[in-house]
Amino acid sequence: MQEDGLASADPAPAGSVPGASTAAADSAGPGVATPDDGWLRVHPASPFVRGWVALAAIGFFFGRDIFERTLQGRPMFEDGFAGRVPWLVAGGGAVLLVAVLSFVLTWYFTKYQVSGGYVRVNTGFLFRQQRQARLDRVQAIDIVQPLLARIFGLAELKFEVADAGESAVRLAYLKIDDAQQLRATILARAAGIDDDAENPGAPAPEAPEYPVLSVPPSRLIGSLLLSEQSLFVVVGGVASVVLSAVTDNRAFYFYLIPAALGLAASYWNLFNKGYNFTAAISPDGIRLRYGLLDTQAQTLPPGRIQALKISQPPLWRPFGWYRMQVNVAGYGLLDNAGEASSRTTLLPVGKLDDAMNMLALVLPDPGTSRPAEVFGAGLTGLDSDGGFVTTPRRARLLAPLGWRRNGFAATDTALLIRSGRWWRNLVLVPHQRTQSMALHQGPLARRFRVADLVLHTTAGPVVPRLTQAGLDEARALFDEQSARARLARQRQTTEQWLRQVAPPGADPDSQAAETWPLGNEAHQQQEGPQHG
């Protein structure tokens, strides 16, 4: 979608894209070869890092028979094998040569460029493709290091824009230093920081960062053991034992085997993705790092988060733990559900102070003079605490446990929706991110004169829905939120987030630092700044 910063063009010869600039070659960092017209190539080892599965498949195909005969105690080579050796060697060599040649051609015809407000990537040997993303529409930039890439000191860059869910640009792989340098340059340009007049096109320096929080492994393990899926497995195990005792049939135990295997795989995936989770703030956005085997570093520019949800399962309540998830354009429709879950998690598990600190980074201007009271009521309050408007008493039969919790409150910058008596949820939507709204009312809701209000944002784990609001209150909120969203979008005059917070003539870097008070306070409690 060109409007959201993503465009797919017809095949074009490498180096012939309009707007190419030799200045882009300077932005890739040291040690990167520079093709003609400012186009750069990825690391020569990239196709082998990505295509190791193909090489492993070739080895398995030619070595499977030998391996099986060895396990069975038979001779390694069958009779007549010597006569087929030349043909096997020739065939295997030809297949290997074709695979290596395809890897080399893939690397040679993969080029990228940062110029003219766009990042462009040309790929393809037989079928050429160019992808480009506008820098001022970049939603987030991730640095991903699979295990094999970490061994070779390489990293993949992912540029997310507000498209249909597929990454607009993927650069795999670059040297880790070059990837970090390129990310810093693109984020600086996306934020609206102008090039140095004395040295135009020079790479931007890596922005300093200030630690905000980290998740201890013990807390992560505890949150997994006390998760909802653990509760379901325990209930299923108890039910199996009861049914086996009542019916004298031991077959019920076999149903626990796939459940246990699935639970173990889920635990490992969540632990692997959430291990060593750290959050920091820098002038170019919120930085998240996590991963045990495959590490990932996300950078979310401020203002790109479309919606946020803070949730608390009942088993977490005694420990005061919370989880935070967000909707970011480009993250919600990923093919890999596990990857989408990890990339949309702003805080896997944290204390109330951690949740409030992250909330302050997402919404630096809370839009109220008493944010602790309002947001605290959204997390733990009942009835009209913090100015929330809840489900009317006449509809308490529709939600006997949650009617005192289900409600909404609006500040000058965001709409807050809370729900759930046991599974507590607080959803926050910045006014300018409200894309559309709808009122829903079923037959029972008409009987009790209540309605649901749904706010439409980008796809993701957060679904902003106000349930069982009074009919008059829901209609009033529909009109008021429409007006608030329209005014908020009018005040947003540029897609470059740093220019939104810096007045004309101000230094964008220093102004951005002033918008993150909690990040700076957290930094003051540390030994010193960390550099990405």
Least confident range from 340-344, 399-403, 431-435: namely 340-344
pLDDT (tens digit per residue) in 265-288: 888 888 988 999 999 988 778 899
Token representation of residue 479: 């009109």
Burial (0-12, 13-18, 19+ Cβ within 10 Å), 73: exposed
pLDDT (tens digit per residue) in 375-420: 999 999 999 998 999 999 999 999 898 999 999 999 999 999 999 9
Number of H helices, E strands in the chain: 16, 23
Residue 337 is predicted with a pLDDT of: 57
Mean pLDDT of 162-175: 68
Token representation of residue 511: 């102004």
Residue 495 is predicted with a pLDDT of: 53
Looking at per-residue pLDDT, the higher value among 183 and 65 belongs to 183
Least confident range from 123-137, 190-204, 281-295: namely 190-204
**Is 249's pLDDT higher than 50?**
yes
3-state SS, 278-294, equals EEEEECCEEEEEECCCC
**Is 83's pLDDT higher than 90?**
no
What is the 8-class DSSP label of residue 206? P
- Nearest to 29, CA basis, from 144, 185, 157: 185
Mean pLDDT of 354-371: 90
Q: Report the phi/psi class of residue 15: left, alpha or beta, with left for phi > 0 and alpha for psi in -120 to 50.
A: left
